[in-house]
Each structure stands twice: as C-alpha cells, then as structure tokens.
C-alpha cells in the first residue's frame, strides 16, 4: 500500500465522516487545496438511475455562471460562404471542407467542435476519429446549431456537456481553487439545479444518492443534498 505523505494525511484529517452543508464543504475544500499549483474543483454526483434503460439516461448541458476557470479551444465547421469576420474573431479554429481535411489527417487542435446541421453528413465519415475523443458534434451536446454566434458565446462563457456514466455518476469540473467561495457556491447550485431539472422520466422516487466535491489533490467531501435544494 502506498504510504500517504504528511500533507495528504493532514488534509484527510480535516474531514469528518458526516454530511456538510455547502458553505462548510467549500471552506474545507479550499483549506485542503494547498498544493503548489491552482487545483481544479470537481463535483461527483451519484444518481439512483440505471443508464442501461433509455428512459433513465442523463445527458444535458449547462452554463456555469462563473465559468470553469479553464480555457478551451473551440472550432466551428460551417459552409465556406457563411463564414464571416465576426465568426473568425469568436472561434479559435474555423473552416469548411478545409477543416474536414485537417481533421481527417488527425490534426485536432481544439477541445470543442461546433457544426451547422448542413455539415453533419460530411462529418459522418469522421466518427472513428472524433467519437473516441468526445468531439463529435451532437444536438444533445448543444454543438449542432443554426445559431453559430450564440453557441460560440455560450461555450466561451463556460457552457459544458455532462452525462451520467454507466454506473449513474456525473463528473463535472465546477471551477478552480482560487475562485471565491461565492463563485464556487453559485456554480455548485447551477449544477444541482440542472441535474434536478433534467431528471430522466423513468426515474421514480429518490433521484440523488450522494453529492461529493473535491479538489485535484484534496479529499472528497460529501454534501448534504437537502441543503442544496432551493
């Protein structure tokens, strides 16, 4: 068994085996985020769902009001004749058939790919390249759109896609350890409300099982879900 270092032992010692309200949890998380770099803050939400049933699957998007603290490169695929200077200024990468050719070569210099519906048939053949990396545009992810400007602005503000994995757990980046308490709390509330509002129709009775937050190097802290309800 790997021996724990002094910092890890001290951080784990801060956390009691109980539920915390969100204010306490954020305070403790930031106290424990004492590595020599700015740590990411994550939320891990376990849901009472069985994703093997189509009516119990969860996949949606939300805009974190205070962003994630992480800058992502956004590419846009659209017909050449519709590309304007405004779109070029907003997107990190933009193109039409030339961008498809670039992707075909395996050059994926972006984190998010937005496409207009009329370009999707041309992308179909690139599923084997984009799919494994989670880059294939889809309506559910909000990355297939006719309103390119609005979609670009939303993703620049911190819009992100989330889904429950096969065990029914949602994993989300909700900020950085140098965010203010109020900013992290605001993002936390947005996450809870989005998941609550997108409850799959096949889920009956209890929906949330557990709600944990942690920093990159810090211990996991369980939040009292009843305290999150607004």
pLDDT at position 12: 57
pTM of the model: 0.82
Q: How far is CA 111 from CA 77, 89, 119, 136, 157, in A?
A: 13, 17, 19, 11, 14
End-to-end Cα distance, the chain:
43
Contacts of 125 (CB under 8 A, 6+ apart): none
Predicted confidence at residue 174, as pLDDT, reads: 96
| Domain limits, CATH 3.40.50.790, in the chain | 74-156
Residue among 122, 131, 117, 85 nearest 101 (CA): 122
Written as one string, the DSSP assignment of 37-49 is S--EEEEEEEES-
* pLDDT for 3: 55
Q: How far is 82 from 45, CA to CA, in rounded Å?
A: 41
Numbered ranges of CATH 3.30.190.20 in the chain: 17-68+159-228
- When the pLDDT of each residue in the chain is averaged and rounded to a whole number, the result is 92
**CATH ID of 17-68+159-228, from 3.40.50.2300, 3.30.190.20, 3.90.1150.10, 2.60.120.330:** 3.30.190.20
Contact 152, 91 (CB under 8 A): yes
For 190-207, how does the pLDDT look when each residue is reduced to its tens digit (9 = 90+)?
999 999 999 999 999 999
Eight-state DSSP code of residue 132:
G
Does the 74-156 domain belong in CATH 2.40.110.10? no
Question: With a cut of 70, which residues of the chain have pLDDT below it?
Answer: 1-13, 229-230
């Amino acid at each position: 068994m790997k021996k724990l270092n002094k910092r890890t032992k001290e951080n784990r010692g801060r956390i009691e085996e109980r539920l915390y309200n969100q204010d306490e949890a954020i305070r403790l998380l930031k106290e424990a985020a004492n590595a020599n770099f700015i740590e990411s803050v994550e939320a891990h939400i376990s849901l009472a769902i069985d994703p093997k049933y189509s009516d119990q699957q969860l996949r949606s998007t939300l805009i974190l009001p205070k962003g994630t603290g992480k800058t992502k490169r956004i590419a846009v695929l659209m017909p050449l004749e519709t590309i304007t200077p405004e779109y070029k200024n907003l997107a990190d990468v933009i193109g039409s058939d030339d961008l498809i050719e670039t992707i075909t070569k395996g050059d994926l210099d972006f984190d998010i790919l937005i496409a207009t519906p009329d370009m999707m048939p041309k992308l179909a053949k690139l599923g084997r390249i984009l799919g494994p990396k989670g880059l294939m545009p889809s309506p559910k992810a909000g990355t297939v759109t006719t309103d390119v400007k609005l979609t670009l602005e939303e993703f620049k503000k911190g819009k992100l896609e989330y889904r429950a994995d096969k065990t029914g757990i949602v994993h989300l980046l909700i900020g950085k350890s140098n965010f203010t308490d109020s900013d992290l709390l605001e993002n936390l509330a947005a996450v809870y409300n989005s998941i609550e509002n997108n409850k799959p129709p096949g889920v009956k009775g209890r929906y949330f099982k557990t709600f944990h937050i942690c920093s990159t190097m810090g211990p996991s802290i369980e939040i009292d879900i009843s305290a999150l309800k607004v």
